Structure 1
Amino acid sequence: MERKNIDRKKRRKPSGAAVIRPELTTALFRALFEEWAKTGYAAVSMERVAARAGAGKAAIYRRWPSKLEFACEAIRSVEVMRLGSTDQGSLQADISEYLRATRAVLRHPLVRRIIPDLVAERLRSHELSTMLDGIAEARRQFGHRLLDRAIARNELRADLHRELALDLLFAPLYSRIIIRGKSFTKAELDRLGNALHTAVKTC
């Protein structure tokens, strides 16, 4: 009898810290974005986020010590402002691909609500500044690679005004999609690409 009890104990799963399930982490990220888009960052409730994901609040705090850490990792997990850096062969083609990928990101319904709230929250509090700086820097590093390729192909001057060129690339899409709540047709995106191609060359 004693031998059987020992065998059963060996087969029993170890107790202790709960296993961090990747699928629940993904569900928590999605729930956070949905709650964030609905209420704004300041009013996000960890209880409501957990309920949306079908979990308890403890599932959040096992993973992240604070709402800020949770939000930062959620943003990094989906890379909201990620763009591919593949060489399309020319400045014109690189700009077109940049615009297409950026439009796809900015048109997402959650992104269209969360980005303005991020900007507004930064004006109210410095809590999200580091995250916003990281997003902006990643986007500008992508832009620098785009410009470097064009310079290497002799399509742009090496002494062009980089900061102005980078501002030009992103501003039209952000202004229309995020600020005005409008979109671009494919034809309009093509025309914008042609205009930016010409404008960047004059920077």
Structure 2
Amino acid sequence: MNRRAPSGAAVLQPAITAAITDAVLAELLERGYARLSMDGVAKRAGAGKSALYRRWRTKQEMVLAVLAKISVPLADPADTGSLRGDLRASVAAVATWLTEPPFSRIIPDLVAEATRAPELAAAIANTVGEPRRALARTNLERAIARGELPADTDLEMAQDLMAALVYWRMVVRQAPVEPDYLDRVTDTILRALGATLT
């Protein structure tokens, strides 16, 4: 016997969620995190504010849920069969995440906001940063299992290194990136980690 949902039950319609997601990204690009509002997102999405609050309790929760849904899968590590191949794919993914729209404009804004709001910084780390790092850690654990990295490799430091070179060059310095830049980054990381490649 099929039961109908009670008439007052909230049903999260995928089309509305998609419209809200698009609206959040558009508002972040146009207004930045500080000026983004639930009212503005609802208006742009063509939805009532109640549709937003059925999904998320706060602006912060909404923004980070949208960003995590898109950006965390981008860190899913490629399994190329070698540490060098895996690292090259990972640094390329970081470069894409940092330099292509919409994240190329959204991330610097969020980083700036996070420096002024410790609770936002913690939420970004928990919602976006740590899930991305957990995926990236898989590359390094596979390399240890294959004997390409020492068993005592500092995985936290290695993950920082994988992103730091690209972030500093492309986002902080906004320096030119030569065609072989990501290859050189990969080789630098391999040397720094004391990789044994066959």
1:106 aligned partner, one-letter code: L
2:111 aligned partner, one-letter code: V
Q: Which residue of 1 aligns with 2:104?
A: 112
CA distances 1:111-170 after superposition (whole Å, capped 9, x unpaired): 122212222222222332332222222233233222211111111111233333222111
Q: What SS does the corresponding residue of 2:75 show, helix, strand or coil?
A: coil
TM-score of the two chains, using structure 1 as the length reference: 0.80
Q: What SS does the corresponding residue of 2:66 show, helix, strand or coil?
A: helix
Shift in CA distance, 166/18, structure 1 to aligned 2, threshold 3 Å? closer
Name the % identity.
41
Q: What SS does the corresponding residue of 1:24 show, helix, strand or coil?
A: helix
How big is the alpha-carbon RMSD for the aligned residues of Structure 1 and Structure 2? 2.5
| Contact in 1 for aligned 2:75/2:93 (Cα 8 Å) | yes
Q: Which residue of 2 aligns with 1:43?
A: 35
Q: Which residue of 1 aligns with 2:172?
A: 179
Matches within 5 A, 1:125-144: 125-134=117-126, 135-144=128-137
Residue 146 (1) aligns with residue 139 (2): yes
Give unpaired runs (5+ residues) of structure 1.
Answer: 1-13
**Paired residue total:** 190
Aligned residue among 84, 88, 91 for 1:99: 91
Q: What SS does the corresponding residue of 1:155 show, helix, strand or coil?
A: coil
Looking at CA atoms only, which structure, 1 or 2, has the larger radius of gyration? 1
TM-score of the two chains, using structure 2 as the length reference: 0.82
Shift in CA distance, 183/138, structure 1 to aligned 2, threshold 3 Å? farther
Residue 26 (1) aligns with residue 26 (2): no
| Contact in 1 for aligned 2:115/2:121 (Cα 8 Å) | no
